[in-house]
Chain A
Amino acid sequence: KNEVEQSPQNLTAQEGEFITINCSYSVGISALHWLQQHPGGGIVSLFMLSSGKKKHGRLIATINIQEKHSSLHITASHPRDSAVYICAVFYNTDKLIFGTGTRLQVFP
């Protein structure tokens, strides 16, 4: 069993839909990151969370430390949101464990 589990693995949506990607982890963490990887391969950090909730544009990320769970929400999804979304957690000071990613496709 992976220490970081993401669901769903694949997600398709119509433009404008509200999207939720979930991440559960089994280790004690100091921080959780949500990353976005486009087909070209580049990785962009979307959020870093250690508690609560953060919002950036149409993206919202939440974390519940007690339940070891985080969610990434995309409101009013757009085809340009199509990418792989990766949850990653820092544990044991500086070790980073990655989830397997959620492949999102948004169709017009």
Chain B
Amino acid sequence: DSGVTQTPKHLITATGQRVTLRCSPRSGDLSVYWYQQSLDQGLQFLIQYYNGEERAKGNILERFSAQQFPDLHSELNLSSLELGDSALYFCASSVASSTGELFFGEGSRLTVL
């Protein structure tokens, strides 16, 4: 158990819909990272938050947004969903940025029909 909790584990929805994925980091970790893993693209970095503030942005679509709350949990919002958004979405946390060990959640599997 990494200590990182992601919900929901599985989600099936339709095109055009909006979903929210939630991540609770390991106790004491200030950084939260979001990643997308699709069959054809591998793992892609989406966005990182550190202590409530956006720290780095990767290949995140404009239809996607995220935030980190004062209690350090984070949410990834995916809107106007398309078939190609079907993927595993991972959250990871670390104590600090870039040089800290990463702890991954089990992922949220999103299926868009």
Q: Chain A interface (Cβ within 8 Å of chain B)?
A: 30-31, 33, 35, 41-45, 48, 50, 86, 88, 90, 92-98, 100-101
Per the bound structure, the CA–CA distance linking A42 and B101 in Å amounts to 16
Interface of A is mostly: strand
Q: Is the CB of A42 within 8 A of B99?
A: no
Does B25 sit at the interface, judged by CB under 8 A? Answer: no
* Nearest B residue (CB) for A43: B104
Residue of A nearest to B46 (CB): A96
Q: Are A96 and B107 in contact (CB under 8 A)?
A: no
Which single member of A44, A50, A88, A93 contacts B97 (CB below 8 Å)?
Answer: A93
A-B contact count (CB 8 A): 63
Q: Beyond A94-B31, A95-B45: 10 further Cβ-contacts under 8 Å?
A: A30-B98, A30-B99, A43-B92, A48-B102, A86-B43, A90-B99, A93-B98, A94-B48, A95-B57, A95-B58
CA distance A81 to B88 in the complex (A): 22
Please state if A50 and B58 are interface contacts (CB–CB under 8 Å): no
| Secondary structure dominating the interface of B | strand
Closest chain B residue to A98 by CB distance? B43
B56 touches A43 (CB 8 A): no
From B44, B55, B106, B109, contact of A94 by CB (8 A): B55
Contact A98:B45 (CB < 8 A) given known A30-B98, A50-B99, A93-B97 = yes
